[in-house]
Amino acid sequence: MRHKIVTTIVEIDVNVYDAAKTYFGLPPHEADKVHIKDGRSFVARRARGIEETELYDYVIHDLFSGGGVPAHMFTLEFWQDLEKLVKADGIVAVVSLVTYFRLIPSHKSFQNIAAPLHSDSTRAVYITLKKVFPQCRVYHDSMQEPDEEHLKNDFVNWVCYLLFSARSRSPSSQIFFCTPSNTPINFRPAVEADFLDSFLRQQVLSTLPTREINPALILEGLQESSHKNYILTDKTNPLSDWQNKEALHHWKLMRQVLPDVYWETY
Amino acid sequence: MLDSKTKPARANSGTEGSNILRFAVLPLLPYLFQNIQDPTLTKPLEVAFTHPQAPLRILSSVKSPYSGVVVVGEVTPPTQAAIEAGNVTEPHSMRYLRAGHSLLGGVWTDDRVYRKDGSGPLGFDSNGVPIGDSVYGAFVTQEAARFIQRKDSAKQQSALMMYSLHSLCATFLTDGPTQWFRHRYRDIGVYETQNRNNDRRN
């Protein structure tokens, strides 16, 4: 294995799994390593001993689709169950809401124009995660808008430019790296072996430190006494409602990536 | 005063009129079925569909209880005529995965599949077709989880991948050249595009 890690896959839609295997190079997995089912159920049954489980070094939680995330997999109860499946110093990487940045060149910073970092949804995700995982660091994956000279000499940013050309808005994810451990999270620098001969990996992984988000920006202006109001629970979970507006915006953006004929032919 | 012999014939003529209308429509049915029908492709798609006008090919289209439809499509490379005419639009040479109204991601194809060292494509699909880097950089960031310093990082490790599989950074955690998402490679000039057909894995 290229990185010496044994993986277990959970995917609700067998059609997506089949497409991944057939057209996108997903290698074969042992049958007991592929679970076509709802992730919430998978985690809950193992957390409660109904099914056997192993403890994982890493959990990659990336469920964004169609402009939103499944809200029931961002609640306190879900993270409490998931935490039982993770080693004491294991890492949970959570891809949160896609937000839309516009780069303001003069400020060399990102202005989050559609879903501010201090939006209710972002705050709720972060605050709820922190209730279970004491250590979390947050990153985005927007690439800087390249200037003309940069474009001439570095095609690695080509796709970023393409996305930026769509009305200067680039979809970006927030990635929360969290651990049950109380030890602060420290990243080693990326090395050549991490890139696996991929320009994309080289570009994204080598520039990770430049894309960290200070949690203070997420919690800006929020009194600590108000944090409890942002904890997502199975009983109280407005995440879906908050995302409804973003879903339409995401759809509009997707229609800019490819012309209409690609959306009308299926 | 009306009697039974002079009852108005309206009811009978209405029924007859409906029947006439139905029979009149019958010859038109083949035309209607051909031209006014579901414009979507047959599902599951049995043969790849090539669009007659647009640079578009649909490799797979299936119904999904979760997304409505899961589609694998390609934006095909520009023709030589289009290149010479300067009529090249981006993106092209790209394979994408669509679920419902969401473009989940994709990989570069054709001339855009190569490794940094120029030794060949980054990977292959199950049919041996070369595929390249992701069209989105988003999903690679997750791989940085491996960079987090932990005590026993040298031992055999395990990972749980909870995905919509469009975002599976398979190379992060599995064996084989399984990168889902590629990025356009730098113009290498080492691997000639004319040889790309030789890259198909046997």
CA distance A58 to chain B (A): 5
Q: What is the pLDDT of residue B16?
A: 72
B112 touches chain A (CB under 8 A): no
The answer for B 16-35 residues in CB contact with A (under 8 A) is none
The answer for A 204-243 residues in CB contact with B (under 8 A) is 204-205, 208, 211
B135 touches chain A (CB under 8 A): yes
Cross-chain Cβ contact A197/B151 below 8 Å: no
d(CA A113, CA A100): 6
Do β-strands A86-95 and A170-172 pair in parallel, antiparallel, or remain unpaired? unpaired
CA distance A228 to chain B (A): 27
Q: Could you report the per-residue pLDDT of B60-75, keeping only the tens digit for each?
A: 999 999 888 999 999 9
B58 touches chain A (CB under 8 A): yes
Q: Which of A23, A91, A164, A191 to mutate to probe the B interface, most B CBs <10 Å?
A: A23
Q: Could you tell me the two tokens for B155?
A: 């031992």
The answer for A 92-111 residues in CB contact with B (under 8 A) is 93, 95
Whether the per-residue pLDDT at A129 is higher than 70: the answer is yes
Q: What is the pLDDT of residue A82?
A: 97
Tell me which chain A residues have a C-beta less than 8 angstroms from the C-beta of B136.
159
Q: What is the mean pLDDT of chain A?
A: 80
Radius of gyration of chain B (CA): 28
Q: Could you report the per-residue pLDDT of A38-96, keeping only the tens digit for each?
A: 999 999 999 999 999 999 999 999 887 666 678 899 999 999 999 999 999 999 999 87
Q: What is the mean pLDDT of chain B?
A: 73
CA distance A133 to chain B (A): 15
Output the 3-class SS for chain A.
CCCCEEEEEECCCHHHHHHHHHHCCCCCCCHHHEECCCHHHHHHHHHCCCCCCCCEEEEEEECCECCECCHHHCCHHHHHHHHCCEEEEEEEEEECCCEEEEEECCCCEEEECCCCCCCHHHHHHHHHHHHHCCEEEEEECCCCCCCHHHHHHCHHHHHHHHHHHCCCCEEECEEEEEECCCCCCCECCCCHHHHCCCHHHHHHHHCHHHHEECHHHHCCCCCHHHHHHHCCCCCCCCHHHHHHHHHHHHHHHHHHHCCHHHHHCC
Q: What is the pLDDT of residue A74?
A: 94
Q: Could you report the per-residue pLDDT of A197-216, keeping only the tens digit for each?
A: 998 999 999 999 998 999 99
Residues in chain B predicted with pLDDT less than 70, given as ranges, are 1-15, 31-39, 138, 152-154, 164-202
Q: What is the pLDDT of residue A248?
A: 72
A14-30 mean pLDDT: 91
Cross-chain Cβ contact B116/A39 below 8 Å: no
Tell me the pLDDT band of A132, cut-offs 50, 70 and 90.
Answer: very high
A9 touches chain B (CB under 8 A): yes
| Contacts for A202 with CB less than 8 Å, ≥ 6 apart | A156, A190, A195, B116
Q: What is the pLDDT of residue A147?
A: 43
Q: Which of A21, A33, A52, A62 to mutate to probe the B interface, most B CBs <10 Å?
A: A62
Q: Which residue type occupies A66?
A: G
B82 touches chain A (CB under 8 A): no
Q: What is the pLDDT of residue A32?
A: 92
Nearest CB to B125; choose among A22, A64, A259: A22
pLDDT greater at residue B106 or residue A156: B106
Cross-chain Cβ contact A10/B61 below 8 Å: no
Instruction: Output phi, psi for A20, to 5 deg.
Output: -60, -45
Q: What is the pLDDT of residue B167?
A: 40
Tell me which chain B residues have a C-beta less than 8 angstroms from the C-beta of A65.
67, 99-100, 102, 104, 164, 166
Q: What is the pLDDT of residue A115?
A: 46
Q: Could you report the per-residue pLDDT of A86-103, keeping only the tens digit for each?
A: 999 999 999 876 554 433
CA distance B26 to chain A (A): 30
pTM as predicted: 0.77
Q: What is the pLDDT of residue B91?
A: 87
Cross-chain Cβ contact A155/B175 below 8 Å: no
Tell me the pLDDT band of A220, cut-offs 50, 70 and 90.
Answer: confident
